Amino acid sequence: MAGKEAQLTQLLQPTVEAMGYVLWGIELISPGKRPTLRLYIEADAGISVDDCAAVSHQLSGVLDVEDPISSEYTLEVSSPGVDRLLFSPEHYSPYVGEMIDFRLRLPVEGRRRYKGTLLAINSETVIVVVDDQEFELPLRYVDRARVFPRLEIGQGKQ
């Protein structure tokens, strides 16, 4: 997690948890002149639009008082969804055996993108199987990891 995201997590996590939610992760995206602060929240009962609005309202107050982002920005609060991003090593374990798309900051064996089955994780690396070949990826190299949802038989249009 980058420095600014870590600072924002430390600032916002207590408010999110006090409201009964889990702060799944934070992205600070700066595609142009106005950055976007995107928070993903989770709860056992799931997340509704009303939950996102309530958290957004509470966090807006905290952000206005603390002012951790000096420029104008857009605040978005969302559910992580089924194709969720994995932000911390603890997030990976439940998805062993699932298809994950990894984007790396630095190449491993000449590649920066790996899409394959998560075989194992430890405190420093993930092992992913791509086309029957295992690759060991240092966690510190992972820029982004996203779960590919598994479609169950019977899902979709009838």
- Residue-wise pLDDT for 35-59, tens only, equals 899 999 999 999 999 999 999 999 9
Average pLDDT over residues 61-70: 88
- Residue 93 pLDDT > 90, yes or no? yes
- Whether the pLDDT of residue 150 is over 80: the answer is no
Alpha carbons 86 and 144: distance in angstroms, whole number: 7
Is the separation of the CB atoms in 134 and 118 below 8 Å? no
How many percent of the chain have pLDDT more than 70?
A: 93
Q: 43 is written with which tokens?
A: 């709860």
Query: Tokens representing 153?
Result: 């038989």
Rounded average pLDDT over 145-156: 71
Query: Which is more confidently placed, 151 or 20?
Result: 20
Question: For residue 30, what pLDDT is reported?
Answer: 82
Domain annotation for the chain: domains and CATH numbers: 3-78 (3.30.300.70), 89-147 (2.30.30.100)
Q: How far is CA 89 from the centre of its chain?
A: 11
What is the secondary structure of the chain as a DSSP string?
A: --HHHHHHHHHHHHHHHHTT-EEEEEEEE-SSSS-EEEEEEE-TT---HHHHHHHHHHHHHHHHHH--S-S--EEEEE---TT-B--SHHHHGGGTTSEEEEEEEEEETTEEEEEEEEEEE-SSEEEEEETTEEEEEEGGGEEEEEEPPPPPTT-S--
Q: For the segment 6-19, what is each residue's pLDDT rounded down to a tens digit?
A: 899 999 999 999 99
Per-residue pLDDT, 134: 96
Which amino acid is located at 16 in the chain? Answer: V
For the residues 58-86, what does the mean pLDDT come to? 91
